[in-house]
């Protein structure tokens, strides 16, 4: 696994990271989530050794990351680094060779990787002649070409069309299933929610929550239930102690329950005043979990 341990980093007076720690376990896809300026790129650069932390360290399989380990990482930086005049295939073979593959393996892996990413026909085209979406796919191919042991991708989904998103999602799943840890940053929360088991939520250089999304859901402090009733007064719930209206969504009311309020008791009251069409817990979206974590 990859471990980021107590990373801190300033740029002048700006605190970009303030004691960030998290792990990316083998075979897991971890979404690294936070608004612009939260510190995602800084943390990923430190993980890749492109930037030194002021404090803390990064460990890979229990040891401090060294250049040798780093060559076996797959990295997609925020600033895209392709040579625009170079042909797609040549460029990828070159990068694969830099990372230690034989000429034969570099060629084979280049072909496999561009096919996987749907740009197999473009091997002999110069990068600059490709659409931005396809350049992004080549950038991803550059991160994957040497079959890395670990993937660290900074905003890999930015600039991809929906088909590209599906292709990349499939690629990340395959890497994780083969046992590689995968971490990618994103501010597209719906996408992270769909793709990841684990998340690390970061804001102003600090991790505000981390872990399996389902566990974050289970441990949240707020309890919301969605209720739809017919034949009752709209303010029926005001008679139930510890219950407040959170809002109305799609014809149903969302009620917030104080700690200790029994859901079944609320349901009983609902039944006694009208016909219950719908009653159940509200599953918070990742966006809501993030909002709540930031407010704490």
Ligand X SMILES: Nc1ncnc2c1ncn2[C@@H]1O[C@H](COP(=O)(O)OP(=O)(O)O)[C@@H](O)[C@H]1O
Q: Where along the sequence are the contacts to ligand X (CB under 6 A)? A: 11, 14, 16, 34, 36-42
| Strand ranges, E, within the chain | 2-11, 14-24, 29-33, 55-60, 63-64, 73-76, 150-153, 182-186, 198-203, 206-212, 223-230, 243-249, 252-257, 275-281
41 binds Mg ion (CB under 5 A): yes
| Strand ranges, E, within 12-54 | 14-24, 29-33
Give the nearest distance from C-beta 80 to Mg ion in angstroms: 12
Contacts with Mg ion by CB under 5 A: the residue count is: 3
Phi, psi of 63 (to 5 degrees): -115, 155
CA distance to 56, 229, 245, per residue, from 249 (Å): 45, 13, 11
Which CB sits closer to Mg ion, 43 or 286?
43
37 binds, among Mg ion, ligand X, none (CB under 5 to 8 A by kind): ligand X
Q: Which two tokens stand for residue 100?
A: 């230690």
139 binds Mg ion (CB under 5 A): no
181 binds, among Mg ion, ligand X, none (CB under 5 to 8 A by kind): none
Report whether 147 contacts 109 (CB < 8 A).
Answer: yes
110 binds Mg ion (CB under 5 A): no
Strand 63-64 relative to strand 55-60, pairing: antiparallel
Report whether 199 contacts 33 (CB < 8 A).
Answer: yes
- The stretch near Mg ion (CB under 5 A) out of 26-34, 40-48, 121-129, 140-148 is 40-48
Which CB sits closer to ligand X, 12 or 260?
12
Using CB under 5 A, which residues numbered 50 to 109 contact Mg ion? 78
Which CB sits closer to ligand X, 20 or 127?
20
CA distance 238 to 79: 54
Which CB sits closer to ligand X, 24 or 117?
24
Which CB sits closer to Mg ion, 16 or 229?
16
Give the nearest distance from C-beta 31 to ligand X in angstroms: 13
Q: Which two tokens stand for residue 9?
A: 């980093």
Strand 252-257 relative to strand 206-212, pairing: unpaired
**Nearest CA to 109 among 160, 143, 151?**
143
Which CB sits closer to ligand X, 20 or 138?
20
38 binds, among Mg ion, ligand X, none (CB under 5 to 8 A by kind): ligand X
Give the nearest distance from C-beta 45 to Mg ion in angstroms: 9
Using CB under 5 A, which residues numbered 172 to 231 contact Mg ion? none
Give the nearest distance from C-beta 56 to ligand X in angstroms: 15
137 binds, among Mg ion, ligand X, none (CB under 5 to 8 A by kind): none
The closest residue (CB) to Mg ion is 41
Residues within the interface to Mg ion (CB under 5 A): 40-41, 78
């Amino acid at each position: 696994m990859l471990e980021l341990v107590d990373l801190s980093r300033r740029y002048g007076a700006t605190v970009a990271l303030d004691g960030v720690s998290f792990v990316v376990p083998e075979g897991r896809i971890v979404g690294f989530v936070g608004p612009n300026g939260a510190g995602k790129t800084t943390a990923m650069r430190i993980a890749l050794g492109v930037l030194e932390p002021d404090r803390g360290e990064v460990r890979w399989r229990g040891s401090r990351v060294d250049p040798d380990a780093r060559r076996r990482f797959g990295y997609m930086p925020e600033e895209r680094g392709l040579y625009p005049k170079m042909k797609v295939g040549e460029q990828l073979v070159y990068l694969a060779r830099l990372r230690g593959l034989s000429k034969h393996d570099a060629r084979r892996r280049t072909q496999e990787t561009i096919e996987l990413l749907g740009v197999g026909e473009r091997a002999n085209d110069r990068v600059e002649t490709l659409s931005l979406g396809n350049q992004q796919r080549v950038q991803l191919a550059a991160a994957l070409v040497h079959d890395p042991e670990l993937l660290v991708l900074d905003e890999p989904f930015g600039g991809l069309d929906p088909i590209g998103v599906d292709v990349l999602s499939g690629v990340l799943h395959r890497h994780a299933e083969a046992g590689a840890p995968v971490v990618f940053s994103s501010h597209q929360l719906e996408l992270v929610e769909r793709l990841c088991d684990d998340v690390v939520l970061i804001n102003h250089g600090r991790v505000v929550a981390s872990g399996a999304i389902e566990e974050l859901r289970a441990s949240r402090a707020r309890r919301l239930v969605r209720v739809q009733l017919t034949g009752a007064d709209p303010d029926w719930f005001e008679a139930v102690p510890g219950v407040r209206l959170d809002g109305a969504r799609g014809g149903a009311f969302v009620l917030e329950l104080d700690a200790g309020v029994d859901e079944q008791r609320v349901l009983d009251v609902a039944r006694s005043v009208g016909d219950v069409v719908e009653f159940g817990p509200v599953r918070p979206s990742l966006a809501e979990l993030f909002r709540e974590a930031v407010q704490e």
